Structure formats: structure tokens, C-alpha cells
């Protein structure tokens, strides 16, 4: 069975601080995909990144960066120089890839990030 754990329920930072959101996953599949989604107060889930299990390269996109480590089953997300607009709930999610068909996303419980001035 798949499982995603986001141990941090809520994080508060002051603008311009760096913040890391943790994600630990469990799966028996050798092929799988990891995702991060952002859910702002409006409620719509916004896709941020996808990673497949064979690609452990870290990725940077502007102020966002992701660190994928298979050895610790973690896929952490760092926001550098946080801004008020980053305030949202962030979800880490996992989907199986070995079935050959599109699979459901298994979500963590989310981390609420509050960025204040």
C-alpha cells in the first residue's frame, strides 16, 4: 500500500526566510511518480512538479527547489526567500507507475505555510 507522510502540519515564517517542507513516502513499486501541489485559499490544487522514481536529480525552478532521495524515501520542497504569496497548503503526492495505466494520486495530509511580513 502507498502512503505519504507530511509530518509538519503548519509552518510560519517571516518573509524572505527560506523554508523546507518535508515529505516521506512508502511504496512497493519500483516505478512511481512524486508530485507537489499547492492549494491556495481559493481551493484549487495547482501542480508544481513531477518526479519519476528513476530520476534523483534535484530540480530548481526560480525560488523553488526539490530534493529527491530514494535512500530515505523523501521528496522535500524548499522555498527560498519566501513571499506572502507563497502562503498556502502544500501537498506531496505519490502515484504508481507500474500498472501501465494512469493511477490515482495518494496525498499526504498537507503542510500549511503561513508567510508574514
Partner 1 sequence: EAGVAQSPRYKIIEKRQSVAFWCNPISGHATLYWYQQILGQGPKLLIQFQNNGVVDDSQLPKDRFSAERLKGVDSTLKIQPAKLEDSAVYLCASTLGGASSYEQYFGPGTRLTVT
How long, in residues, is the chain?
Answer: 117
- In whole angstroms, the minimum distance from the beta carbon of 16 to partner 1 comes to 29
HSE on the CB side for 31, CA within 13 Å? 7
Residue placing its CB nearer to partner 1 in the complex, 12 or 98: 98
97 in Cβ contact with 103 (< 8 Å): yes
Helices then strands, each counted (H, E), the chain: 0, 12
* Count of CB atoms situated within 10 Å of the CB of 19: 19
- In whole angstroms, the minimum distance from the beta carbon of 81 to partner 1 comes to 26
Binding residues for partner 1, rule: CB under 8 A, are 4, 32-33, 35, 37, 42-47, 50, 52, 91, 93, 95-97, 99-105, 107-110
Residue placing its CB nearer to partner 1 in the complex, 47 or 81: 47
Eight-class DSSP state of 4: E
- In whole angstroms, the minimum distance from the beta carbon of 77 to partner 1 comes to 15
Residue placing its CB nearer to partner 1 in the complex, 16 or 52: 52
Amino acid at each position: 500500500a502507498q502512503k505519504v507522510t507530511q509530518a509538519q502540519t503548519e509552518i510560519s515564517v517571516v518573509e524572505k526566510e527560506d523554508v523546507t517542507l518535508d515529505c516521506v513516502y512508502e511504496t512497493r513499486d519500483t516505478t512511481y511518480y512524486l508530485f507537489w501541489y499547492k492549494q491556495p485559499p481559493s481551493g484549487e490544487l495547482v501542480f508544481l512538479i513531477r518526479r519519476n522514481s528513476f530520476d534523483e536529480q534535484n530540480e530548481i525552478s526560480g525560488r523553488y527547489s526539490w530534493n529527491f532521495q530514494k535512500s530515505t524515501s523523501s521528496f522535500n520542497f524548499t522555498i527560498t526567500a519566501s513571499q506572502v504569496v507563497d502562503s498556502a497548503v502544500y501537498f506531496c503526492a505519490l502515484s504508481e507507475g507500474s500498472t501501465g495505466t494512469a493511477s490515482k494520486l495518494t496525498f499526504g495530509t498537507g503542510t500549511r505555510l503561513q508567510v508574514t511580513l
